[in-house]
Structure 1
């Protein structure tokens, strides 16, 4: 089923784009997952655009930006009961090099989703598997091999954003009628989902969860090592500075 104009508009919050583009920096996600040469070039591109100190920093920034795909898919799952069709061969990363910050948009060709038509718990598992085990897990493995960055940093980049968007959805009055479903999905993601749905032995979202009292990171995302970058509010480096200062 093709996404409606209203649905595509809603997903623009998570950097979805329905506009065709001819920008030279457009890249199919499939190429980053299956072509080492293209991945090397793309990491180098991100490093240049963000003034990253090294390839590991660029890899972290790449995953931070791609993390928008997670809430995009989870919004469709939790709010609409729809599973986005996230085949890497149909996901385009578009960047037009406008503005100071490298920020890709995601174009799905075609933009389609599957309505939950079966027992929801099994359907939900597949929706979670599609985005985490299908997209992020293989890319994180490749980035670790290429840059030697800790996968913990990359997974926490994704996790912290998942926590943040669900917190916002819980507070959104427009979503009040489905609060129970939102909370049930969040509980599943953090406390119940098997690691295999993430392509991992253990659930990485559970690993970094510190409860609703705060979102203090365990790892530094390395943004401080980019041009003009600073420590994020949730950075463990800033927390240590406060303790020692």
Structure 2
């Protein structure tokens, strides 16, 4: 385990080896396959985000759980290694990000087990398919499906968060990566997810990564565009909230009104 990327995995993807300070709910990942324990986990998290219903709580928790997918993608593409993120090796914590800060969901590994990618391209492709399929099919799928059963929230909406999360992650990773070999791995490994990943691994008929990105006018700059989210994050179902500007559920006339109001507020603030 190298400290530089171990620290990054903790900071960026909430994957770590030590129990976090101040954890007020901790469960072995395998326990969350039990509907009763999953119900308790959802109920404990709901008031922390002031959720108005289970759809908000479950969408938020799914977003946290999917951070494991991005963390593994980083390891596979940049470090050319894989981590053991099997259910039996993961303890899931609910704890403050820092003292007095927001609550994060994080993933403590019982043992830090890395596997190196094979050197040959052909063998690496098989290795990549295996390690990613195991995470999606054997770790994430049972967790999300149990949440769906308990909450009634469509599991397809949970998987639908993946494209938006990955677009930003891959874009930032490409900007930060200077090594040409690493850049090519980032491109190739993401291409695998978008075009070669079998949706049957997660019990779906369609690959959640294979979607068309939709763009909308930037909320501040009319000469720019920004990505619309692939699915609704359910933020509007938390206390005092509204639709995100990039929400696919927002009507275009409401988005235009939000844009006009936001720009007027900027002008007034700078006057």
TM-score range, shorter chain: 0.7 to 0.9
- Which residue does 2:198 correspond to in 1? 194
Deviation at 1:29, TM superposition (A): 1.4
TM-score (norm 1): 0.87
Bigger radius of gyration among the two: 2
- Runs of 5+ in structure 2 lacking a partner? 216-224, 259-271
**Is 2:30 the partner of 1:18?**
no
Aligned residue number for residue 32 of structure 1: 32
SS in 1 for 2:206: coil
Question: Is the contact between residue 156 and residue 217 of structure 1 (CA under 8 Å) also seen in structure 2?
Answer: no
Match of 1:9 in 2: 7
State the aligned residue count.
Answer: 241
Distance (Å, rounded) in 2 between the aligned partners of 1:198 and 1:49:
29
| Structure 1 alignment gaps of length 5 or more | none
Asked if residue 231 in structure 1 is aligned to residue 234 in structure 2, the reply is: no
* Runs of 4+, deviation exceeding 6 Å: none
Is 2:52–2:237's contact at 8 Å kept on the other side of the alignment?
Answer: yes
- Cα-to-partner distance string for 1:56-107 (whole Å, 9 max, x where unaligned): 2211111111221111111001111111111112212222345453312221
Distance change in 2, residues 1:7/1:100 (3 Å)? closer
- Does residue 54 of structure 1 match 2:28? no
Measure how far apart 1:134 and its partner are: 1.7
Using the alignment, how far apart are the partners of 2:100 and 2:61 within structure 1?
17
The equivalent of 2:222 in structure 1 is none
Is 1:145 equivalent to 2:145 in the alignment? no
The alignment's TM-score, normalised by the length of structure 2, stands at 0.80
CA contact (8 A) 1:140 1:151 kept: yes
Counterpart CA distance in 2 for 1:44 and 1:100 is: 20
